[in-house]
Amino acid sequence: MTVYDFEKYAVPGSRAHLVGIGGVSMSPLAEVLKGMGITISGSDMNDGAAVKHLRSLGIDVKIGHRAENIDGADYIIRTAAVHDDNPEIAEARKREIPVFERTQAWGSMMRNYKNALCISGTHGKTTTTSMATHILTEAKRDPTVMIGGTLPLLNSGYRVGNGDTIVMESCEYYNSFLSFFPTVAVILNIDADHLDFFKDLDDIKKSFRTFARLVPPDGCVVANADDRNTMEALSKLERKLITFGFSEKADIRGINVVLSERGSEFDVLYKGGVYAHIRLRVPGRHNVLNALAATVAAIVLDIPAGAVERALYEFTGAGRRFEYKGKYRGAEVFDDYAHHPRELRELLAAAKSLGYKRIVCAFQPHTYTRTKALFDDFVRELKAADKVFLAEIYAAREDNEVGIYSKDLAKEIDGAVCCESFKDMENKLAEIASDGDIILTVGAGDIYRVGEALVKRKD
């Protein structure tokens, strides 16, 4: 198959057709390309808010995928969910029209920015990217932003700015972030995940090491000194490396940490003195670490401490990251995207610190391969909740070829209840909800619907 150079095609006056244009990372890409003088068309299966917005900008968007949609296109850009059997992709191959992945396009876009801040890690990417967005906005850097979730500040997961800085949530799955060109690469942590793609933990470390080496000689890698896997991956990196953490081995440290029911406070120790005093309104020690990472990135980008302090105090969380949904019979309902055992551990520890009488966890496992590979870890972490309800495994991109079910988890967790449907789960939660409970709907699938339905109940 012919390999094409995206930058040779993405020039003013060219025409790009985006397949899956309404996607969370595709719609902002369409805007950025349009701003470069490129004529944009696209297609999507759903006529949602993103499609309506793109049409308001004069972009022609067709609903449904058909071969004739690509007429006139010089090249095609597709989202990761679109495969070679898609009629538009098949037609492009037939006509020998170049087809690019969205990560190739975003990577190319980064070359147009003086500062490309790419935030990676197995856990915490969305929150840290959101925190960095708050900081860059407060510092009036007018950033372009791409986040894998919704940020209330933006009322979306992206922003197209006119400044010289782009901040991107950078995912390792399928080595996507290896198409990027970071000037500042943040690595929050490295853990065993996405084992349907990576062979093992060493393979994951290799991917992150390669990502770090994408940083140019005058750039910087920001990494978690307290995460052993990260430090092992970055040994002998031969790039400028600034580490953060709580331990004395970190270059920039979080000290005097005080955790409270609704947030935390800490000082950032930098070059022997206090660079900033951070006050957070999101709970948990893991969010202190996320904020510390965002702060170090701000230091690298020469952002004043005052802007960091103000921005992080105003940050109240990203969508589906300990997101408050409401109350039902005195129980407070929150939703969280946690779908890995380590994320569950951090979430339940944060909930435990808030002083609720009982922690009720409604969990939807995400993908069969992850549930199978990390089965014992999921069991161990879920036991930290006082009551566990399990939805069926969210298949996402998979078929159940490994023979794993939520009932297998339930057998190992005392009192755990498997639910036949979301309505069944909602009813069971309604039966037990009482004043002083925290009910957490947890998972990367569509489990959030349960919490939203629960708080709307009138009974």
Please report the sign of the dihedral spanned by the C-alpha atoms of residue 304, residue 307, residue 310, residue 312.
Answer: negative
Considering the candidates 62, 79, 91, 125, report the single residue annotated as catalytic: 125
Calculate the CA 223 to chain-centre distance. Answer: 17
Calculate the CA 93 to chain-centre distance. Answer: 32
Q: Please enumerate in sequence order all residues whose Cβ is within 8 A of that of 33, keeping only pairs 6 or more positions apart, or say none.
A: 10, 16, 40, 105, 109
Pairing of strands 387-390, 273-280: unpaired
Q: Is 8 a catalytic residue?
A: no
**Tokens representing residue 34 in the block:** 């349009």
Q: Please enumerate in sequence order all residues whose Cβ is within 8 A of that of 247, keeping only pairs 6 or more positions apart, or say none.
A: 225, 226, 253
Closest to 70 in 3D by CA, of 53, 49, 90: 90
Q: Are 107 and 118 in contact (CB under 8 A)?
A: no
Considering the candidates 39, 126, 127, 129, report the single residue annotated as catalytic: 126
Q: What is the largest CA-CA distance in the chain?
A: 64
Q: Are 344 and 442 in contact (CB under 8 A)?
A: yes
Considering the candidates 169, 323, 343, 426, report the single residue annotated as catalytic: 169
Q: Is 210 a catalytic residue?
A: no
Q: Is 369 a catalytic residue?
A: no
Q: Please enumerate in sequence order all residues whose Cβ is within 8 A of that of 58, keeping only pairs 6 or more positions apart, or say none.
A: none
Torsion of CA 42, 47, 48, 49, to 10 degrees: 70
Q: Distances from the Cα of 252 to the Cαs of 42, 225, 294, 305, in angstroms?
A: 45, 9, 12, 14
The C-alpha angle with vertex 32 and arms to 89 and 139, in degrees rounded to 5, equals 145
Q: Are 213 and 239 in contact (CB under 8 A)?
A: yes
Catalytic residue set: 125-126, 169
